[in-house]
Structure 1
Amino acid sequence: MSHTRKIARNASVVAGATLLSRVLGFVRDVVIAFALGAGPLADSFFVAFRLPNLLRRLFAEGSLTMAFVPVFTRSDRFDGQDEAFAVARSTALWLLLLLGLLMGVAIVAARPLTLVIAPGFADTPEVVNHTALLVRICFPYILFISGVALCMGILNARDHFLAPALAPCVLNAVLITASLAAVALGWPVPTTLALAVLVAGLGQWLLQQPFLRRQGFSWFGPASLRHPGVLRIGRLMLPTVVGAAVYQLNIVLGTVLASFLSLGSISFLYYADRLVQFPLGVFGIAVSQAALPSFSRLAADGAHEDLLQTLNKTLGLLLFISLPSAAGLIALSEPMVATLFGRGAFSAEAVQATAWALVGYSTGLPAFCCVRSLVSTYYALEDTKTPVKIATLCLLLNGGLGLLLMQFWAHVGLALAVALASWANVVLLLRGLRAHFNGPWMAVPGVVRMLGLSLLVGVGAWVTAGWGGWALLGIPFWAAVYLGAAGMLGMPETELFFDGTRQVLRRVGKR
């Protein structure tokens, strides 16, 4: 099986599990929107929950996983399974040490941290105090979820993708249950949700353990803080931590700027981002997660020409999926937000404001999808410095654009700034790959046809937007129209898409 087809197959596994997670995630957001609305209580919880998530992406998914998978793959390939598992256990020791220290600092300094990430709260001391309390409750989640990310790296490197992709389902199910229980029993909703986050983190970690045992892995065995493999990961992580920090600073920057706008702006951006995360998570992140182990194997074998061809086909598949998704989100933004969130404490004004934020974010969806696979290519090649330099430039661009555009379009301007900075990131990452490859740095000949078909689908969906929630029932129809037209035009991405889906269905059928 070719590497591209293998990526498509594994991405389909991740996408299927992620689809279930995203559906539960939407139910979770609907329930939280009903219980909290889009006011100060919601802002407090989202800020508190964002802090451990920032560190999760910084020390786990954002840098550890990217540095860990290539080193683990190389060790497993050339030194054997036992040595690779020793690398994983040694990495876990470092995680516990570093994150334990950070957790202690965060609990002690919860109030100053709140003012750093949301300085606009300073005018409302009661909101600051409440957010600080939630920070102290939520922050230990970082230990559990970083452990989950390490489990994901081990399993993905050994071509198992299902269990890590199902982990978010545990979080969503626990938060849904906690929200409904809080409303029914009269418990304080934000505090209940914060405690539920800890329970969910433990559940996500426990879910991975049976699958690790099937791979022959045990947490008990040789490990050392000075293991050569973990020291190599550390050297690779130094620039990747900076790069991940830059990426997370983009999120923090948006929160900081939004805190100076009208109350609720943080929540408008949060709910809009959640909707964009649906296609991004189901397809974009799924493809990049499946691609990293294949990229790492090709890089370890020195097969740079095959790596370039695989990257180009991967980018083609990402654009094939993300372009029509962006068009659909833009066309159906208002009925989508109204149907999913427009009830309870979520007012008509909040629906309109969130819908416009969704339009802003959606213009950058294809870029969001492509960035992760491009960065994965750099990490597979063990070039961790170039993405950091590019990410830093894009952070400055995002900040400048955000300050400018929020003057005219408030929170929508912040969403547009993120989208524009992400497109700049894609262009710069593509140009930077010329130093590694002699071939074309991007060869996706069907992009024009993808754009044309996506535009037609978007216009068709926009015509139906006036039907309200009923317009959402047309989404499968427009997807079928797009796939059918692409197939008639002979676009190779159509075959990859269906081939990956068929292989997953065969595997499910055999079980």
Structure 2
Amino acid sequence: MSGSLLKSSGVVGGMTLLSRVLGFVRDILFAAAFGAGAGMDAFLVALKIPNFGRRMFAEGAFSQSFVPVFTETRSRGAHAEARLLLSQVAGTLGGILGAITLVGCLASPLLMGLFAPGFADDPTQFALGADMLRWTFPYLLFISLTAMAGGVLNSYGQFAVPAVTPVILNVCLIAAAFIDAESVRVLAYAVFAAGVLQLLFQLPSLRRLDLLPRPRWGWGAPRVRRIVSLMVPIMIGSSVAQVSLLLDTILASFLVSGSVSWLYFADRLMEFPLGIFSIAIGTVILPTLSAQFASAAHGDFSATLDWGLRVLLLVGVPAALGLFLLASPLVITLFQYAAFSPEDAQMTAWALMAYAFGFMGFSLVKVLVPGFYARQQTRVPVRIAITALLCGMVLSLSGVLLAVHWGWSAPHAVLAAATSTSAWINAVLLWRRLRHEGVYRPGAGWGGFALRLLLANGLMAAVVLWLHGPVESWLTEGLSGRVERLLTIIVAAGVTYLLVLAATGLRPHHLRRQLS
């Protein structure tokens, strides 16, 4: 079991790595071609609005409610029942999101005014953002149906195709930047094309499983209603997290031009390890947890969560430290070229350091939430998420007001710090609830495991600081010099970390034993 989970996590992580690498290429091109000005800010808001719905519907409410019900139907019923459920869900979800997409396209100026009110001071920027939103909003429909197909494939243990699908978006955006690097508008067209291609990419895999859906309206079907009943509280919880991010965008739109872009590029760097490790682990353990709950294997359920937390800490803590300590070198090496100025690099680095503080909070949420959704318990995570959101909103609003009043040079970083703090609150409350309910019981050996991590990360951080050097020295380097220095630090830090873990007795089979 654990070997299978580790292998599946590696598949998802490896495919996601490919997508993230291409995402970096994409963002490097964005930074060099469009910089961090008004046009890029407008596109990022136009992309963020459908992404709000994507994370709320596709990655949030829908996936977390559909996978457990579909897995249960597949394991307890006939194949025909699973195919019927998929067809009903495809028709119902497609119909509802199709209507939402139509409204969103028609009301794009209203949505732009709602999510980026600060753009109203620049009519050209506002009109550009509203026009691009008409092309990016349909992405919500396509990517939600893609997530449905990916959830089905994951439930059959096929993780590679869903994990590699995001590559298509990056390829389309990279191609668009090469086609026309003078107009940011072409990026919106690329998002639309990517949504269609991502959905089509999933269909052959479904056909091989004899699960190609024939969409039909199924609102009254019992299992569909059950998914909907599970979706509503999850949707609220997912929207809570996204409201926090959108609040950051709204507040950033009132700050100096470029603030939205600085937060975006910093978030992209933070999302790199988050997607490779944290989301991969959460994606892999959800079907396993759902099956273990359905078979009343409570001990295995707890052991799966324990395995996920250990693996997450093993790879997540050094990633968070690396993001914090190497914030400036990372931003300078990847983005600081052509239209992306040294000031843009510094502002982005401040935001990245703030996000790095919350990296483990974001990661823990990705692993702990499946412990609730696999048991089809959705209301508790929602209440916890709302508590975290309210705390984050208070911190964001008060922090920005204080930053502006006192004349801080990087008020946008306050927004990132508030979001990070909110993630930690969410994670701690989720963990406490799982422990209180007795669903999760830590396995043996956590004390020694924690000491190994502390020692390995401490020595790794010392190596990074020793090799880092002054930030000014990175600005004077060319591309090859920056890449060489950064890779040297990363390799030295990684080798130090692994050697210390090995010297203190940690071996790969220790992770496999957690579920043996």
- TM-score for both structures, normalised by structure 2: 0.92
Larger deviation: 300-309 or 343-352? 300-309
2:479 counterpart residue number: none
Say whether residues 1:416 and 2:430 are aligned partners: no
How far residue 104 of structure 1 moved from its aligned partner, in angstroms, is 1.5
Query: Equivalents in 2 of 1:494, 1:284: separation in Å?
Result: 20
- Work out which of the residue numbers 346, 366, 389 in structure 2 matches 1:372: 366
- Work out which of the residue numbers 59, 62, 65 in structure 2 matches 1:61: 59
Query: Equivalents in 2 of 1:135, 1:220: separation in Å?
Result: 30
Query: Given the superposition, is the C-alpha separation of residues 243 and 14 from structure 1 closer, same or farther in structure 2, using an over 3 Å criterion?
Result: same
How far residue 80 of structure 1 moved from its aligned partner, in angstroms, is 2.3
> Contact conserved, 1:86 with 1:223, CA < 8 A, in 2?
no
Say whether residues 1:473 and 2:473 are aligned partners: no
2:354 counterpart residue number: 360
What amino acid does structure 2 have at the position aligned with 1:153? G
Query: Equivalents in 2 of 1:314, 1:204: separation in Å?
Result: 29
How far residue 224 of structure 1 moved from its aligned partner, in angstroms, is 3.1
> Contact conserved, 2:91 with 2:215, CA < 8 A, in 1?
no
Please give the secondary structure, in 2, of the residue aligned with 1:62. helix
What amino acid does structure 2 have at the position aligned with 1:267? S
What amino acid does structure 2 have at the position aligned with 1:328? G
Larger deviation: 65-74 or 476-485? 476-485
- Work out which of the residue numbers 364, 385, 398 in structure 2 matches 1:391: 385
Larger deviation: 25-34 or 301-310? 301-310
Query: Equivalents in 1 of 2:101, 2:412: separation in Å?
Result: 31
1:84 counterpart residue number: 82
Query: Equivalents in 2 of 1:109, 1:424: separation in Å?
Result: 35
> Contact conserved, 1:92 with 1:147, CA < 8 A, in 2?
yes
The two structures, once aligned, show a CA RMSD in angstroms of 2.0
Query: Equivalents in 1 of 2:512, 2:111: separation in Å?
Result: 44
**Residues 87-131 of structure 1 deviation map (CA, whole Å, 9 limit, x = unaligned):** 111111111111111112111211111111111112222211111
1:425 counterpart residue number: 426
> Contact conserved, 1:331 with 1:459, CA < 8 A, in 2?
no
Question: What aligned pairs does 1:281-292 form with structure 2 within 5 A after superposition?
Answer: 281-292=275-286
1:459 counterpart residue number: 462
Gaps of 5+ in 2: 404-409, 475-481
Query: Equivalents in 2 of 1:256, 1:14: separation in Å?
Result: 33
Query: Equivalents in 1 of 2:493, 2:510: separation in Å?
Result: 18
What amino acid does structure 2 have at the position aligned with 1:241? M
How far residue 493 of structure 1 moved from its aligned partner, in angstroms, is 6.2
Question: What aligned pairs does 1:128-143 form with structure 2 within 5 A after superposition?
Answer: 128-143=126-141
How far residue 488 of structure 1 moved from its aligned partner, in angstroms, is 2.3
How far residue 136 of structure 1 moved from its aligned partner, in angstroms, is 0.9
1:105 counterpart residue number: 103
Query: Equivalents in 1 of 2:114, 2:451: separation in Å?
Result: 44
1:437 counterpart residue number: 438
How far residue 447 of structure 1 moved from its aligned partner, in angstroms, is 2.6
Question: What aligned pairs does 1:62-461 form with structure 2 within 5 A after superposition?
Answer: 62-183=60-181, 188=183, 190-220=184-214, 224-406=218-400, 407-408=402-403, 409-437=410-438, 440=441, 444-445=446-447, 446-461=449-464
How far residue 50 of structure 1 moved from its aligned partner, in angstroms, is 0.8
How far residue 405 of structure 1 moved from its aligned partner, in angstroms, is 2.8
> Contact conserved, 1:119 with 1:259, CA < 8 A, in 2?
yes
> Contact conserved, 1:86 with 1:221, CA < 8 A, in 2?
no
Query: Equivalents in 2 of 1:175, 1:481: separation in Å?
Result: 37
Query: Equivalents in 2 of 1:79, 1:215: separation in Å?
Result: 16
> Contact conserved, 1:486 with 1:494, CA < 8 A, in 2?
no
- Work out which of the residue numbers 22, 36, 46 in structure 1 matches 2:20: 22
How far residue 497 of structure 1 moved from its aligned partner, in angstroms, is 8.6
What amino acid does structure 1 have at the position aligned with 2:88? S
- TM-score for both structures, normalised by structure 1: 0.93
Identity fraction in percent:
39
Query: Equivalents in 2 of 1:345, 1:96: separation in Å?
Result: 40
Please give the secondary structure, in 2, of the residue aligned with 1:63. helix
2:33 counterpart residue number: 35
Please give the secondary structure, in 1, of the residue aligned with 2:135. helix
Query: Equivalents in 2 of 1:125, 1:401: separation in Å?
Result: 30
Q: How many residues align?
A: 494
Gaps of 5+ in 1: 501-511
How far residue 499 of structure 1 moved from its aligned partner, in angstroms, is 12
Query: Equivalents in 2 of 1:47, 1:319: separation in Å?
Result: 33
Query: Equivalents in 2 of 1:304, 1:437: separation in Å?
Result: 10
